[in-house]
């Protein structure tokens, strides 16, 4: 089984993913910024590590964080509302982690969003613009890197129970257009992360996804 590091370990998707990884036999550590969140992570069976990825701005600091892990899952985010912090977390910190993963040789699984491309079309005066820019810049850098990577790009997130999936896989930045953005439960995205961790042969692909009828394992096959 893999040694997995989940960055953004107290997020809604991450807290659903961690017990799935643990149940799958993976040695799982989740990075949280707030010490008050340690107990929530540990209740999933994962270990918690307290670190502020925004403050880890030197390569040795980030290298130390990812050292020894087989898989690094990025599920962190600034949460919107502050363009400067969105850039600091969703872009700058994510790029530092990507660089560290390339140096370490770990596999990198990025949780992005369905419409993430450099031609995202979000107007600069829209509150979503900073996030769209940050995610698209990072996703482009991942695709251009020599990392072993998978980008997960879910559509609108819901709190419904876990279900099946509809996938639009692509090796490039643009979607094939066979699947339109819709909605997907966070629990389904969590299961997708866990399944992708198990599928070590799956790499260099962007998986845009909605909730659907097909079991995730079948869709990935």
> pLDDT tens-digit profile of 156-168?
999 999 999 999 9
Encoding tokens for residue 86?
A: 């969105």
Alpha-carbon span 140 to 153, nearest angstrom: 13
What's the domain count of the chain?
1
Domain residue limits at 39: 3-220
Strands 164-170 and 205-212: antiparallel
Model confidence at 176: pLDDT above 80: no
Alpha-carbon span 161 to 200, nearest angstrom: 26
pTM above 0.75, yes or no: yes
CA dihedral 140, 101, 152, 94 (to 10 degrees): -60
Model confidence at 95: pLDDT above 80: yes
Residues 6+ apart with CB under 8 A from 141: 95, 98
Model confidence at 31: pLDDT above 80: yes
What are the strands, taking DSSP E only, across 64-204? 71-74, 107-111, 148-154, 156-158, 164-170, 183-185
Mean pLDDT of the chain: 95
Model confidence at 175: pLDDT above 70: no
CB 17 within 8 A of CB 82: no
Model confidence at 52: pLDDT above 70: yes
Domain CATH code at residue 160: 3.40.50.720
């Amino acid at each position: 089984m893999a040694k997995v590091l989940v960055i953004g370990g107290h997020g809604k998707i991450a807290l659903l993913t961690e017990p799935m990884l643990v149940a799958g036999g993976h040695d799982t550590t989740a990075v949280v910024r707030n010490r008050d969140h340690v107990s929530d992570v540990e209740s999933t069976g994962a270990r918690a590590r307290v670190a502020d990825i925004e403050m880890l701005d030197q390569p040795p600091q980030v290298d130390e964080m990812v050292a020894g892990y087989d898989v690094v899952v990025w599920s962190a985010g600034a949460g919107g509302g502050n363009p400067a912090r969105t850039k600091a977390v969703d872009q700058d910190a994510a790029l530092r982690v990507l660089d560290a993963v390339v140096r370490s040789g770990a596999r990198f699984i990025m949780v992005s969003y369905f419409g993430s491309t450099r031609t995202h079309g979000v107007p600069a005066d829209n509150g979503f613009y900073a996030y769209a820019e940050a995610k698209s810049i990072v996703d482009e850098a991942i695709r251009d890197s020599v990392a072993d990577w998978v980008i997960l790009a879910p559509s609108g997130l819901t709190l419904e129970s876990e279900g099946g999936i509809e996938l639009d896989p692509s090796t490039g930045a643009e979607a094939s257009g066979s699947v339109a953005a819709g909605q997907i439960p966070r629990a389904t995205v969590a299961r997708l992360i866990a399944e992708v961790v198990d599928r070590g042969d799956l790499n260099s692909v962007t998986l845009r996804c909605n909730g659907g009828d097909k079991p995730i394992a079948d869709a990935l096959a």
